[in-house]
Structure 1
Amino acid sequence: MIQPQMPETKNWRFHRDVENLGWLTMDTPGAPVNTLSRQAIMELEQLVERFEELAQTGELVGVILLSGKDSGFIAGADVSEFDAMSDFSVLPEALKRTHALFARIEALKIPMVAGIHGFCLGGGLELALACHYRVVVNDDKTRIGFPEVNLGIFPGFGGTGRSIRQAGPVDAMGIMLTGRMLKAGAAKGMNLVDKLVRHRDMLAWEARKAVLQKRKAVGAAPFQKLMAMGPLRSYVVGKMRDQAGKKARKEHYPAPFALIDLFEKHGDDWKAMIRGEIDAFVPLMGSDTASNLRRVFFASEALKKQGTKGVKFARVHVIGAGVMGGDIAAWCALRGMSVTLQDLDMERIKPALDRGKKLFKKRLKKKHEVDAAVLRLEADPEGKGVGRADVIIEAVVEKLEVKQSIFGGLEDRLKPGAILATNTSSIELERIAEKLKAPERLIGLHFFNPVAQLPLVEVIRSTFNTDAEIGKGAAFALAIGKSPVVVKSAPGFLVNRVLMPYMLGAVERVERGESKELLDAAAMAFGMPMGPIELMDTVGLDVGKSVATELGHAVPEGSKFDALVKAGKLGRKTGEGFYKWVDGKAQKGETPAHADLAGLGRELVKPLVDMTEVVVAEGVVANEGLADIGVILGTGFAPFLGGPLKARKDGKA
């Protein structure tokens, strides 16, 4: 069969079959995922022009758009081009050109059907929404959404209006404002996609039928559109602003609020919404917030490239069923590992199993998945799982002699190649390992509380370790969905070293009579996710005191801090610390008025920033970029500022 002459492209493959169906496959060269680079968009422009010509002559009856990548459909626009694209002299024209291209796709006289598997995000979803029909693989790997808000922007290729057209204003705005990714069934329920298939090998057949039957996607139901009309839109906008304000401050993260403003103006007309996108989008792309969030994105992506390749982990043994040990064990089971959890007796292990089941129910939803996770988390008071485990993690009390005795009894029971790790939060590994026959085998895997929420794991390297042990430790962190940052064994490592002066400085101010509510509010006004006093309660006052002592910060006898620890009022886990806690929430009094909350916040955060500089100077982390991303992931330090050292360079901390 003679193929029509097509433009030469690097990102796309095209062929026409005997039914005059066009098969367009995206396959970004030399990359694990497809992205809509400027080159890819220009090539697609040439292809669409050719489709128009072939449709006119009857040589093409439809186009099926697929991905050549196993990872998924299209992961979005090419973020590596965003810095260059943020130039105001370039961006508006580039956006207009893409808008025009997607409008031409929508206006094609022949059907264009998207066949989606895996990731379909951002600009990829916007392209799919410009197609006439969408077929999606209904499996656990499929994820559909608009993550742009996490980069300080919102959809800019027409996705605002087209998602509202398909899903209705409330659902569409909800996924754009939160950046959450949908599974295939949820996307179908929202009308973002039209047909589900069970396997990827069914995509082509179902997409072919969609073209031949000239199927067209159906828009949102009339009752859904009512929420964008007249007074109802004002009500919806008010609710959206309230919700957005609870999650972030407008001055810190302007994108959600700019999107809500756009909806307030044009929410009842999806085409007007698209036309208004560019003017609202351009200032966001060039903002400091977007620039810093891109920096955080690239640093986070770089962490995923660490670790020894090809290492497999199936079994984990955790020693210590306290809050940290139990939650580490539950997280590993949630991520598919078989886990044995050891402590002195079942009485100590059972609360950890109960917390694990709560986590599974919250994260997994389906009963059979919860039941499977429960079976993967096994009580093991006698430590029988040690010899079978690929990873052994000690998470007992922060006492050197206790840790040394545990590891001394484990060494001869390990299987070859197993990782031996401690979750110590402050003790140098060299001291823990000094009595081991093979001290090079012990690494640190330092998790953070709450384990299910904080993504960082510090992979701690002692003077004994080789690259092989550290590489395996980083690979394990990645295998359980965490972000590894390699740090040198030194008191407090990275995160606790920088956190402690910040938290203790705030505690000292409370000891002098300042309002804990005011200090917490000031830190949050600066951009921290939680204030230092609430954080101390969350970490646990006993843990805080232990780490402070290990780092040389004495907790004075007779201080309020000391009295609370002696009274067993250890914070959130005991129901009372500096605050009283009810249902996991700190009960706070009124916050006194203050003329400059954010300024007070900068003052509070200064010891953290100062110590981050010291840690880099001492070589605890390899460079400033790793220090910034480590502190962001481990403490929640304001991502919109790019990290403590970037914030200081910019004069904002």
Structure 2
Amino acid sequence: MTDVVRLERLGAIALVTVNNPPVNALGVAVRQGLLHALRAAEADAEVRAVALVCAGNTFFAGADIKEFGQPPQAPALPEVIAAIEACTKPCVAAIHGTALGGGLEVALGCHYRIARADAKVGLPEVKLGLLPGAGGTQRLPRLAGVAKALEMIVGGQPIGAAEALEHRIVDELFDGDPRAAALAYAQRLLDEGRGPRRTGELSVPGTDSAELIAARHAEVAKRTPGLFAPLRCIAAVDAATRLPLAEGLERERQLFLECLHSPQRAALVHAFFAERQASKIADLPAATRPREIATAAVIGGGTMGVGIALCFANAGVPVKLLEVGEEALQRALQRARDTCAVSVRRGSLSESEMERRLALIAGVTDYAALAEVDLVVEAVFEDMAVKQQVFERLDAVCKPGAILASNTSSLDLNQIAAFTRRPEDVVGLHFFSPANVMRLLEVVRGARTSHAVLATAMAIGKRLKKVAVVVGVCDGFVGNRMLFQYGREAEFLLEEGATPQQVDGALRTFGMAMGPFAVRDLSGLDIGQAIRKRQRAILPAHLTFPTVADRLCAAGMLGQKTGVGYYRYEPGNRTPLENPALAPVLEAASREKGLERQTLDERYIVERCLYALVNEGAKILEEGIAQRSSDIDLIYLNGYGFPAWRGGPMFYADSVGLDKVLATVKELHARCGDWWKPAPLLEKLAAEGRTFSGWQPAHHSGEQA
């Protein structure tokens, strides 16, 4: 035994209890303890059945992340599971909390499984660029069938206990204490004379396996081209349908190692750890306590404001939605209902749950109604004069200690805070549209934002199930400041000779969810016009700007809202089609710059756009606007459609090699001007042979130097 695994003999039943807080991760001590306990139970002639339970809040929640990247230590998990399955005495696992990854694989190795009614089970390894490597791809199809196994292994989403029972993944549901349930079930096995029932000896149910596998393969190849692990997951499940267990496990191991050594696995693991690192704020005292947020309010009932209000309602937080007049308020409340109705039609939300959530949104038209709320989020038009009016009103009516948050996407939060007598209570909460769907939340820390308010903002992000990342104050913060460089270079490419289809296609091939011009058409070209005007007013005069977007706006071609922009759109259809009116616009823009249009290759297009992101990201790091490069990656993975399997722009640059990135940036600087002046940090790290991931700043100022 080990300290984390305890074996008790209770009559004829050996009770194995694992206690490895906080989530009973399957680290080496747990694996050793399980193997020793099983061997002891097998050798004890008085023991006739084995019950496996976990202490605390959960069954095994997966691998021990401390072992990621470390040399493997014996016993390996497949060895432990093989010993469980080979046991001559019936073994039952009692699942509560979550059984994920290796945790579910352990349960599948047991002869019987029971689950508490509120438990969840799943095999999420694909999200880390892997596949289940301890028999999950071989045993799950034998219980649940090929269709369900493919859904769980390729999709990586957990399912509830009732669904697991329906698909034979568990044998019975229970309520209450897992220990008592496990002992009762084991005793029933003995009373009924039931022995081991080994999953690996079962046949895969169903007869249309080949057809199901071929269909899923075609679907995945089309939906996520370039992703490595999902197709290997499918191949492993295919092996379960054709091979006996021992040979299937060998095939699974081969495919697992292919995934393990793929660069995509490293990128996805980087993204996994980046999400955990983001909550660690360098200079936030450990004793800082967040304020209690029992009620919230949102100013503005447009698409963004309604989305933010729904975020709070979805999390069970009562929220007041303020609009300037009754008519506008009713439109906003109807927009909230229409948004929820879409989820009801899709089957992801019940009618009763929709009504419960909508009941938490109270429409108001008077600022006085906000006097007692704990948090207000402003989501009005992106204009400093409008923000000033809102924050002066909030400062006058909100109670002391209320947090005043702005959803501004680029304006100076310190200036906004100065409109109040309590700048320490002002913070930025930059949601991304649609706010009730997008996971990213930029938490903007002003020069005078208090520690307690910052901690509360991060806690709210977690409560709303967002990926919250702290950023400092500058024009556009992190995400939009970098996006400006990316979009500018994409438009310069149009002036040099590319078409929107070529640029968007090259970046989609790289893995971006959408190309920059399709995104602009979706959001509306007029949205960026105010930002471009402001940028031209504050940036040095020698920096030239592309003009295609301005020309389209002047012609009334604003994207999907007008049916024509960089692309053309048929009524009721969002499929981008070639815009025949664009060619003369591009030719005029090229002519004005004295450029002869030429054919551009895909690699040049990708490097021109992505290295603009990287160079600006390096400046952001050096200025302390972001704490660490992984925070920048997290922002781009969750808010801007950057492919997770590339790890984010900064990780991607590390994987290419900063010396190579710098060489290209220098070439572009010489040819394209000072937009491409190399970031000093990029030059420093490239010269020293270091990476962004390995760099730590000397301090975090929280605002632009």
Determine if the TM-score, normalized by the shorter chain, exceeds 0.5: yes
Q: Would the alpha carbon gap of residues 596 and 155 (structure 1) be closer, same or farther in structure 2, given more than 3 Å must change?
A: farther
Q: How does 1:429-440 map to 2 (within 5 A)?
A: 429-440=413-424
Distance in 1 between residues matched to 2:417 and 2:290, nearest whole Å: 27
Distance in 1 between residues matched to 2:295 and 2:555, nearest whole Å: 39
SS at 1:485's partner residue?
strand
TM-superposed deviation, 1:560: 4.8
2:204/2:240 contact within 8 Å kept: no
1:64 lines up with 2:72 in the alignment: no
Q: For structure 2, list consecutive stretches of 5 or more residues without a partner in the other structure.
A: 580-598, 662-705
TM-superposed deviation, 1:601: 2.2
In the alignment, which of 152, 158, 169 is matched to residue 129 of structure 2? 152
1:609 lines up with 2:614 in the alignment: yes
1:318 lines up with 2:298 in the alignment: yes
TM-superposed deviation, 1:404: 0.5
Q: Would the alpha carbon gap of residues 315 and 261 (structure 1) be closer, same or farther in structure 2, given more than 3 Å must change?
A: same
1:371 lines up with 2:355 in the alignment: yes
Deviates more, 1:502-511 or 1:149-158: 502-511
Deviation readout 1:47-90 (Å, 9 max, x if unpaired) = 11111102xx1x222222222122x21111112212124xxxx5
Partner of 2:65: 79
2:518/2:576 contact within 8 Å kept: no
Partner of 1:262: 236
TM-superposed deviation, 1:127: 0.3
Q: Would the alpha carbon gap of residues 558 and 597 (structure 1) be closer, same or farther in structure 2, given more than 3 Å must change?
A: closer
SS at 1:621's partner residue?
coil
Deviation readout 1:187-237 (Å, 9 max, x if unpaired) = 22222112122x333x34433332123267797998943123xxxx1x333
In the alignment, which of 546, 549, 553 is matched to residue 561 of structure 1? 549
Deviation readout 1:285-324 (Å, 9 max, x if unpaired) = 1322112211211110223456955643232211111111
SS at 1:409's partner residue?
helix
Partner of 2:261: 286
TM-superposed deviation, 1:609: 1.5
Distance in 2 between residues matched to 1:114 and 1:407, nearest whole Å: 56
Partner of 2:159: 182
2:141/2:240 contact within 8 Å kept: no
Distance in 2 between residues matched to 1:363 and 1:609, nearest whole Å: 40
Partner of 2:320: 340
Q: Would the alpha carbon gap of residues 440 and 99 (structure 1) be closer, same or farther in structure 2, given more than 3 Å must change?
A: closer
In the alignment, which of 321, 340, 352 is matched to residue 335 of structure 2? 352
TM-superposed deviation, 1:126: 0.2
TM-superposed deviation, 1:397: 0.6
Q: Would the alpha carbon gap of residues 504 and 127 (structure 1) be closer, same or farther in structure 2, given more than 3 Å must change?
A: same
TM-superposed deviation, 1:548: 3.3
**Size of the alignment, in residue pairs?**
618
1:15 lines up with 2:5 in the alignment: no
Distance in 2 between residues matched to 1:130 and 1:489, nearest whole Å: 52
1:618 lines up with 2:618 in the alignment: no
Distance in 2 between residues matched to 1:335 and 1:46, nearest whole Å: 44
1:102 lines up with 2:78 in the alignment: no
Distance in 2 between residues matched to 1:466 and 1:526, nearest whole Å: 41
1:37 lines up with 2:27 in the alignment: yes
Distance in 1 between residues matched to 2:238 and 2:13, nearest whole Å: 42
Distance in 1 between residues matched to 2:443 and 2:208, nearest whole Å: 49
TM-superposed deviation, 1:446: 0.5
Distance in 2 between residues matched to 1:620 and 1:44, nearest whole Å: 47
Letter in 1 for 2:481: R
Q: What is the identity percentage for the equivalent residue pairs of Structure 1 and Structure 2?
A: 30
1:572/1:581 contact within 8 Å kept: no
SS at 2:421's partner residue?
coil
Letter in 2 for 1:476: I
1:227 lines up with 2:214 in the alignment: no
1:330 lines up with 2:307 in the alignment: no
1:300/1:629 contact within 8 Å kept: yes
Deviates more, 1:433-442 or 1:386-395: 433-442
TM-superposed deviation, 1:263: 3.6
Q: How does 1:576-595 map to 2 (within 5 A)?
A: 576-579=564-567, 580=569, 585-589=574-578
TM-superposed deviation, 1:45: 1.2
TM-score (norm 1): 0.87
Distance in 2 between residues matched to 1:550 and 1:16, nearest whole Å: 74
Q: Would the alpha carbon gap of residues 550 and 557 (structure 1) be closer, same or farther in structure 2, given more than 3 Å must change?
A: closer
SS at 1:300's partner residue?
helix
Distance in 2 between residues matched to 1:595 and 1:519, nearest whole Å: 9
Distance in 2 between residues matched to 1:50 and 1:565, nearest whole Å: 77
Q: How does 1:322-471 map to 2 (within 5 A)?
A: 322-348=302-328, 349-358=332-341, 361=344, 362=346, 364-383=348-367, 385-471=369-455
TM-score (norm 2): 0.81
TM-superposed deviation, 1:576: 5.0
Deviation readout 1:597-629 (Å, 9 max, x if unpaired) = 455323322211111111112221122232222
TM-superposed deviation, 1:351: 4.4
TM-superposed deviation, 1:164: 0.7
Distance in 2 between residues matched to 1:488 and 1:581, nearest whole Å: 42
Deviation readout 1:441-468 (Å, 9 max, x if unpaired) = 2110001122233322111111122222
SS at 1:274's partner residue?
helix
Distance in 2 between residues matched to 1:584 and 1:468, nearest whole Å: 47
Distance in 2 between residues matched to 1:66 and 1:588, nearest whole Å: 58
SS at 1:396's partner residue?
coil
2:493/2:605 contact within 8 Å kept: no
2:444/2:471 contact within 8 Å kept: yes
Q: Would the alpha carbon gap of residues 548 and 79 (structure 1) be closer, same or farther in structure 2, given more than 3 Å must change?
A: farther
SS at 1:371's partner residue?
helix
Partner of 1:647: 652
1:304/1:478 contact within 8 Å kept: no
Distance in 1 between residues matched to 2:600 and 2:167, nearest whole Å: 45
TM-superposed deviation, 1:420: 0.7
Distance in 2 between residues matched to 1:78 and 1:604, nearest whole Å: 38
Partner of 2:109: 130
Partner of 1:525: 509
Distance in 2 between residues matched to 1:427 and 1:598, nearest whole Å: 34
Deviates more, 1:19-28 or 1:493-502: 19-28
Distance in 2 between residues matched to 1:82 and 1:206, nearest whole Å: 34
1:346/1:381 contact within 8 Å kept: yes
Deviation readout 1:334-384 (Å, 9 max, x if unpaired) = 121112111123443134323442365358533322221121123223345
1:248 lines up with 2:224 in the alignment: yes
1:143/1:184 contact within 8 Å kept: yes
TM-superposed deviation, 1:409: 0.7
Partner of 1:303: 278
TM-superposed deviation, 1:563: 5.0
TM-superposed deviation, 1:577: 3.9
1:571/1:581 contact within 8 Å kept: no
Distance in 2 between residues matched to 1:270 and 1:150, nearest whole Å: 27
SS at 1:421's partner residue?
strand
Distance in 2 between residues matched to 1:414 and 1:243, nearest whole Å: 52
Distance in 2 between residues matched to 1:53 and 1:562, nearest whole Å: 80
SS at 2:68's partner residue?
helix
Letter in 2 for 1:21: I
Distance in 2 between residues matched to 1:470 and 1:530, nearest whole Å: 33
Q: Would the alpha carbon gap of residues 557 and 45 (structure 1) be closer, same or farther in structure 2, given more than 3 Å must change?
A: closer
1:341/1:380 contact within 8 Å kept: yes
